[in-house]
Structure 1
C-alpha cells in the first residue's frame, strides 16, 4: 500500500527539491556553468535516498 503512494509522492519531492536548488543557486550567485553540477548532485543523491526508502518500505 505505501509503495503505491510513494510512486506519486516521489516526483513531487523531486520537483520541490529542484525548486529549492534553483533558489539556492540564485541567492548564492553560483555561476551558471556550475548549475548543472549542483542540480545533478542534488538529483542523484535524492534519487538514491528515495530508492533506498522505497526498498526499505516494500521489503519490511
Structure 2
C-alpha cells in the first residue's frame, strides 16, 4: 500500500509543479519570486499528502 501511495504522490507533485510553472509564466511572476512560489506550493502539497496518508492508514 505504501508503494502505491508513494507513486501516486510523485505523480501528484510532478503535475502540481508543472501547473505551478504554467501559472508563473502566465502571471509573469518575477524570477526572484518563482523559487518561493514553488517552495510554498511544494511544502503545502507535501503536508496535504502526508496528512491524507495518515488518515488512510488510521481509518
Gaps of 5+ in 2: none
Gaps of 5+ in 1: none
Q: Extract structure 1 runs of 4+ deviating beyond 2 A.
A: none
Higher helix share: 1
Q: Which has the higher contact order (CA 8 A, sep 6+)?
A: 1
Aligned length: 59
Q: TM-score, normalised by structure 2?
A: 0.94
Q: TM-score, normalised by structure 1?
A: 0.92
Counterpart of 2:38 in structure 1 is 39
